[in-house]
C-alpha cells in the first residue's frame, strides 16, 4: 500500500485511511491507493463492511489542483476517478464514508461513491469547482441531484458554496451525524449495515423541476461573464434527462471545455496566488510575531471607521480618536449604520452588533493609546499632518507597539523619520470600503523590522484580509499602477470618448466598475489632494490629464457631492451629465486636441496594458515580490476579474511581444523588463520562477 493510504481492521470492519497532508487532495497515488485498499478488504473474508476516512484535519478536500495545469500542458494524462467510485458502489460489502473537515469537489464525489456517509457536526461538504473555473468532473453533477434533489445540487454545483453537515443530513447527502469519535462511531455504523441491502444512487433517475432558466439568470448576474457556473447547470440538467452513464459523459465533455478554457487557468492562478502572497522571505513559523490584543486608530473618517470595524469584528478592542466631537459623532454614526445594515440583511444579530460597538472607545484624547499594541493612523493625505501625528504617537506608544499608517501614497520612510523608532513603523494600506475590501497592502519601509512585517501579515489573516507585502514608493503597487490606468482613462475622454463609453468597455470586459465611475465612488478629491501634494514633482512637457481636477475645481467630487463624472440621483444611480461633456470639450480645446472616434479595443488596451507596463517597472524595482503579488492586489483591491487572472497574468496570456508592440504604438516608455522578456519570448511568470 502506498504511504498515502493506510489500511487496518477493527474486528470485522476494514478501514481505509487517506493520509496526504495538508488537505488529503486526490494527488496521484491517492485514488489508486483507495482502490487497492478496497480490493484488499473485499477479498478478506473476515471483513463485513468498509470505512473510508481522512487522516489529519480533513477528509479529502478535492482533486489535486496542481495536477490540472499538468494535464492541460500535456505533462500528465490525468486519470478518471469514475472507476474508483464504481468499484466503491459495486462493492459487495457496504462502504461507509466518514467525513470531517471539508469534503469538497472530488472529495464529496468519492464520498458519494460509498453506500453511506456519516459526518461530524463541524464537517462541510460542497462542490466548489466553479471557484477555480471548473465543474465537478467525477460524477458530482450526476450523483448529487440523485442524492440531494435537483435544486440543491444545481445550486451547490453552480455557485460553489459549501453546506454544513446538518444541512447535508437534512438533504440526504449524509446519513448520520456523529457526536463522538468519528472513526469509532463510523465503525459501529458500518457494523449495523452489514445485513442491509446497499443503496445504488446511480440507478435513480432525476427529473427537471423547472428551475434551470432561473438559475442561469442568477448565475449570469452573480458570476458575470463566467463560463463554469453555466456549464455546471448544463451538467446537472443533463442528470435530469440522461441515464447516469450518459450524464457522466456529458459532464466530462463540459468539464474538459472548462479545463482547457482560459478562465480555469486564471482562477487557478488566483487560488494559488492568494496563498503564495502570504509567503514572505525571511518570515515563517520560526519567527516570533508580536501579539495584537488592543488597537488604536487615529481619525474616524471613512477609512478610520472601516479600519476600526475590521479590528472589532476580529474581537480586538479599539480606541478611536478624532479631533472634534462632531467628526467623532459622524464617524461613529457611520459605523453604527454599517452594522445596522448588516443586521437588517441577517448577517448577524443585534446582540453581536452591540458587542462590537462596545469594543470601540470613541474619544478626543490620547487616553489608552499607551496600551495599544498597534496604532493605525488614518487621517487626510498630507505629509506634514502625518508627521505631526507620528511624532505624537512616538511619545505615547509603549515600546514594541506597531505604528501603522494607512497612507495610500506617501513615503513610509519619511513618515517614520518623525519617530525615534522607524523599525516599528509600517504602512497598512486598506482599501475602501475598508470593512469590505479584502486587500491589505503592507508597506515595508527601509527600516521596518521583519517581525513587524510578519506580525502585520498575520494580522491580515486575523482580520480576514489578504495581506500583500509591497515596497515603499509613491502609491506603492496598487495606486502607482492605478494612476497610469486612470490617466489613460482620462486621456481617452479628452481625446474623444464619452465617460460612459470608457466605463462600459471596461465593465463589459469584467472590471467590477469602470475607472471613472470608480473615481466617483472613491471621491475625485482624494486624487486631487494628492496631486496638489506632489505638484512639485510634475515634469514640464509631460502630458498630464486635467478632467478630474477640473471636476473637483467645480465642486464635483463624485458620489459624495451628487456629481462627478456622472450626476447621481438620491439613490446614487448615475446618469451622464451634459455639463461634464462641456467641461471635457473645454479641456480638450485648451489642450489643442482634435477629438476623434475611439473604439473599444483602444480603450481596453490603453487602460489594461498601462497596468502591465507599470507593473513591470514595479517588479524590476523590487517593489512587488512577484508578478502574482501584483495580480492578487488587483483581484482583491481593484475589482479586476479573477477569471482574467490579474494584470500581469493577463499580459502573459496576450504574449509580452504583443503587449510591447501596443505599448510602443501608444508612445509610452516601455518598461525595461517588458522589453527584455518580450525579446526573449518569455512571460512574467517564467521570469518569476527563475529569479525565485
Residue 25 as a binder of ligand 3H9 (CB under 6 A): the answer is yes
Instruction: Pick the stretch among 39-47, 126-134, 243-251, 594-602 that binds ligand 3H9 (CB under 6 A).
Output: 126-134
Least distance from ligand 3H9 to the Cβ atom of residue 82, Å: 9
Of the pair 136, 475, the CB lying nearest ligand 3H9 is at 136
Q: Are 269 and 649 in contact (CB under 8 A)?
A: yes
Of the pair 56, 301, the CB lying nearest ligand 3H9 is at 56
Of the pair 217, 287, the CB lying nearest ligand 3H9 is at 287
Task: Quote the CA–CA distance of 137 and 64 in Å, as a whole number.
Answer: 13
Strand partners of residue 177: 119
The binder of ligand 3H9 chosen from 11, 66, 293, 582 (CB under 6 A): 66
Of the pair 30, 47, the CB lying nearest ligand 3H9 is at 30
Nearest to 33, CA basis, from 8, 63, 3, 10: 3
Residue 137 as a binder of ligand 3H9 (CB under 6 A): the answer is yes
Nearest to 426, CA basis, from 442, 440, 414, 410: 442
Q: Are 477 and 646 in contact (CB under 8 A)?
A: no
Instruction: Pick the stretch among 124-132, 347-355, 455-463, 655-663 that binds ligand 3H9 (CB under 6 A).
Output: 124-132
The binder of ligand 3H9 chosen from 20, 52, 98, 129 (CB under 6 A): 129
Of the pair 105, 519, the CB lying nearest ligand 3H9 is at 105
* Residue where the block lists cell 453546506: 163
Residue 105 as a binder of ligand 3H9 (CB under 6 A): the answer is yes
Of the pair 146, 386, the CB lying nearest ligand 3H9 is at 146
What would the 3-class secondary structure string for 27-63 be?
Answer: CCCHHHHHHHHHHHHHHCCCCCEEEEEECCCCCCCCE
Least distance from ligand 3H9 to the Cβ atom of residue 180, Å: 24
Least distance from ligand 3H9 to the Cβ atom of residue 624, Å: 19
Least distance from ligand 3H9 to the Cβ atom of residue 45, Å: 34
Query: Where does residue 336 rank: exposed (0-12), middle (13-18), buried (19+ CB within 10 A)?
Result: middle
Task: Give the per-residue contact string, 229-268, with ligand 3H9 (x = CB under 6 A; - = no).
Answer: ----------------------------------------
The binder of ligand 3H9 chosen from 17, 20, 91, 102 (CB under 6 A): 102
Residue 99 as a binder of ligand 3H9 (CB under 6 A): the answer is no
Of the pair 129, 503, the CB lying nearest ligand 3H9 is at 129
Of the pair 24, 610, the CB lying nearest ligand 3H9 is at 24
Catalytic residue numbers read 109, 129
Residue 64 as a binder of ligand 3H9 (CB under 6 A): the answer is yes
Residue 62 as a binder of ligand 3H9 (CB under 6 A): the answer is yes
CA atoms 151, 156, 157, 159: torsion sign:
positive
Instruction: Pick the stretch among 98-106, 203-211, 237-245, 632-640 that binds ligand 3H9 (CB under 6 A).
Output: 98-106
Residue 65 as a binder of ligand 3H9 (CB under 6 A): the answer is yes
The binder of ligand 3H9 chosen from 37, 113, 114, 128 (CB under 6 A): 128
For the chain, state the CA radius of gyration: 28
Task: Quote the CA–CA distance of 200 and 92 in Å, as a whole number.
Answer: 12
Alpha helices, DSSP H only, in 510-626?
515-522, 524-533, 547-553, 578-590, 600-620
Residue 113 as a binder of ligand 3H9 (CB under 6 A): the answer is no
Task: Quote the CA–CA distance of 106 and 230 in Å, as a whole number.
Answer: 19
Least distance from ligand 3H9 to the Cβ atom of residue 155, Å: 17
Task: Quote the CA–CA distance of 36 and 104 in Å, as a whole number.
Answer: 22
Other C-beta atoms lying within 10 Å of the C-beta of residue 223: 18
Residue 200 as a binder of ligand 3H9 (CB under 6 A): the answer is no
Reading the block at residue 121, the C-alpha cell is: 457536526
Half-sphere exposure of 215 (CA within 13 A, CB side): 24
Q: Are 651 and 628 in contact (CB under 8 A)?
A: no
Task: Quote the CA–CA distance of 193 and 174 in Å, as a whole number.
Answer: 15
Least distance from ligand 3H9 to the Cβ atom of residue 269, Å: 12
Angle at 6 between CA 180 and CA 102, to 5 degrees: 50
Q: Are 439 and 637 in contact (CB under 8 A)?
A: yes
Other C-beta atoms lying within 10 Å of the C-beta of residue 571: 5
Of the pair 105, 514, the CB lying nearest ligand 3H9 is at 105
Instruction: Pick the stretch among 60-68, 322-330, 383-391, 414-422 that binds ligand 3H9 (CB under 6 A).
Output: 60-68
Q: Are 568 and 519 in contact (CB under 8 A)?
A: no
Least distance from ligand 3H9 to the Cβ atom of residue 279, Å: 7
Reading the block at residue 149, the C-alpha cell is: 434533489
Strand partners of residue 125: 103, 163
Residue 132 as a binder of ligand 3H9 (CB under 6 A): the answer is yes
Task: Give the per-residue contact string, 273-302, with ligand 3H9 (x = CB under 6 A; - = no).
Answer: --x---------------------------
CA atoms 488, 490, 491, 497: torsion sign:
positive
Least distance from ligand 3H9 to the Cβ atom of residue 614, Å: 28
Least distance from ligand 3H9 to the Cβ atom of residue 264, Å: 10
State the number of binding residues for ligand 3H9 (CB under 6 A).
Answer: 25
Q: Are 111 and 51 in contact (CB under 8 A)?
A: no
Q: Are 455 and 266 in contact (CB under 8 A)?
A: no
The binder of ligand 3H9 chosen from 5, 63, 258, 457 (CB under 6 A): 63
Instruction: Pick the stretch among 130-138, 374-382, 481-489, 493-501 that binds ligand 3H9 (CB under 6 A).
Output: 130-138
Residue 443, helix vs strand vs coil: strand
Other C-beta atoms lying within 10 Å of the C-beta of residue 424: 25
CB-based contacts of 210, cutoff 8 Å, min separation 6? none
Map the footprint of ligand 3H9 across residues 5-24, applying CB under 6 A: 22-23
Of the pair 143, 606, the CB lying nearest ligand 3H9 is at 143
> Which residues of this protein are in contact with ligand 3H9, per CB under 6 A?
22-23, 25, 61-66, 81, 102, 104-106, 109, 128-129, 132, 134, 136-138, 140, 272, 275
Amino acid at each position: 500500500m502506498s504511504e498515502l493510504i493506510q489500511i487496518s481492521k477493527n474486528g470485522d470492519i476494514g478501514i481505509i485511511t487517506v493520509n496526504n497532508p495538508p488537505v488529503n487532495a486526490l494527488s496521484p497515488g491517492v485514488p489508486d491507493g483507495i482502490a487497492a485498499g478496497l480490493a484488499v478488504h473485499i477479498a478478506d473474508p473476515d471483513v463485513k463492511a468498509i470505512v473510508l476516512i481522512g487522516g489529519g484535519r480533513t477528509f479529502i478536500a478535492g482533486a489535486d489542483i496542481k495536477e490540472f495545469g499538468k494535464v492541460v500542458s500535456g505533462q500528465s494524462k490525468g486519470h478518471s476517478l469514475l472507476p474508483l467510485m464504481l468499484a466503491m458502489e459495486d462493492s459487495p460489502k457496504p462502504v461507509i464514508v466518514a467525513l470531517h473537515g471539508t469534503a469538497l469537489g472530488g472529495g464529496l464525489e468519492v464520498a458519494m461513491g460509498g453506500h453511506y456517509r456519516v459526518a461530524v457536526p463541524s464537517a462541510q461538504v460542497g462542490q466548489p469547482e466553479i471557484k477555480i473555473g471548473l465543474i465537478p468532473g467525477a460524477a458530482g453533477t450526476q450523483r448529487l441531484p440523485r442524492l440531494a434533489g435537483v435544486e440543491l445540487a444545481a445550486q451547490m454545483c453552480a455557485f460553489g458554496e459549501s453546506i454544513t453537515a446538518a444541512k447535508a443530513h437534512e438533504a440526504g447527502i449524509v446519513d448520520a451525524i456523529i457526536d463522538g469519535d468519528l472513526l469509532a462511531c463510523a465503525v459501529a455504523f458500518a457494523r449495523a449495515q452489514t445485513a442491509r441491502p446497499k443503496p445504488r444512487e446511480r440507478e435513480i433517475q432525476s427529473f427537471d423541476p423547472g428551475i434551470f432558466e432561473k438559475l442561469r439568470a442568477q448565475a449570469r448576474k452573480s458570476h458575470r461573464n463566467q463560463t463554469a457556473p453555466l456549464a455546471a447547470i448544463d451538467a446537472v440538467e443533463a442528470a435530469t434527462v440522461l441515464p447516469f452513464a450518459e450524464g457522466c459523459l456529458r459532464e466530462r465533455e463540459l468539464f474538459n471545455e472548462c479545463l482547457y478554457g482560459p478562465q480555469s487557468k486564471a482562477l487557478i492562478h488566483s487560488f494559488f496566488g492568494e496563498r503564495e502572497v502570504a509567503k514572505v522571505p525571511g518570515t515563517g513559523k520560526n519567527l516570533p510575531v508580536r501579539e495584537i490584543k488592543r488597537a488604536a486608530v487615529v481619525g474616524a473618517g471613512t477609512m478610520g471607521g472601516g479600519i476600526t470595524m475590521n479590528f472589532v469584528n476580529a474581537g480586538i478592542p479599539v480606541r478611536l480618536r478624532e479631533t472634534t466631537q462632531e467628526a467623532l459623532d459622524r464617524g461613529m454614526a457611520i459605523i453604527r449604520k454599517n452594522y445596522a445594515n448588516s443586521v437588517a440583511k441577517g448577517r448577524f444579530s443585534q446582540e453581536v452588533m452591540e458587542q462590537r460597538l462596545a469594543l470601540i472607545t470613541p474619544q478626543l484624547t490620547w487616553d489608552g493609546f499607551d496600551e495599544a499594541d498597534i496604532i493605525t493612523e488614518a487621517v487626510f493625505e498630507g505629509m506634514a499632518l502625518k508627521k505631526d501625528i507620528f511624532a505624537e504617537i512616538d511619545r505615547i506608544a509603549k515600546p514594541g507597539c506597531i505604528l501603522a499608517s494607512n497612507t495610500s501614497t506617501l513615503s513610509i520612510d519619511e513618515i517614520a523619520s518623525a519617530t525615534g523608532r522607524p523599525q516599528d513603523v509600517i504602512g497598512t494600506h486598506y482599501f475602501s470600503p475598508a470593512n469590505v475590501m479584502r486587500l491589505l497592502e503592507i508597506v515595508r519601509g527601509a527600516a521596518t523590522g521583519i517581525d513587524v512585517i510578519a506580525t502585520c501579515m498575520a494580522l491580515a489573516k486575523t482580520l480576514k484580509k489578504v495581506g500583500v507585502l509591497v515596497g515603499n514608493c509613491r502609491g506603492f503597487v496598487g495606486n502607482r499602477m492605478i494612476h497610469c490606468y486612470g490617466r489613460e482613462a482620462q486621456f481617452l475622454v479628452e481625446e474623444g470618448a464619452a465617460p460612459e463609453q470608457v466605463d462600459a468597455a471596461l465593465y463589459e470586459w469584467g472590471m467590477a466598475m469602470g475607472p471613472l465611475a470608480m473615481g466617483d465612488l472613491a471621491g475625485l478629491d482624494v486624487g486631487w489632494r494628492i496631486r496638489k501634494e506632489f505638484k512639485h514633482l510634475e515634469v514640464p512637457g509631460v502630458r498630464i490629464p486635467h478632467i478630474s481636477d477640473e471636476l473637483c475645481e467645480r465642486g464635483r467630487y463624485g458620489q459624495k457631492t451628487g456629481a462627478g463624472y456622472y450626476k447621481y440621483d438620491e439613490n446614487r444611480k448615475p446618469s451622464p451629465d451634459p455639463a461634464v461633456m462641456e467641461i471635457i470639450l473645454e479641456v480638450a480645446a485648451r489642450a489643442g486636441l482634435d477629438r476623434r472616434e475611439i473604439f473599444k479595443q483602444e480603450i481596453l488596451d490603453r487602460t489594461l496594458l498601462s497596468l502591465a507596463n507599470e507593473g513591470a517597472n514595479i517588479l524590476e524595482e523590487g517593489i512587488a515580490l512577484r508578478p502574482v503579488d501584483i495580480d492578487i492586489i488587483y483581484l482583491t483591491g481593484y475589482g479586476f476579474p479573477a477569471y482574467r487572472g490579474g494584470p500581469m497574468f493577463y499580459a502573459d496570456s496576450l504574449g509580452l511581444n504583443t503587449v510591447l508592440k501596443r505599448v510602443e504604438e501608444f508612445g509610452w516608455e516601455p518598461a525595461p523588463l517588458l522589453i527584455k522578456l518580450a525579446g526573449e519570448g518569455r512571460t512574467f511568470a517564467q521570469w518569476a520562477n527563475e529569479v525565485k
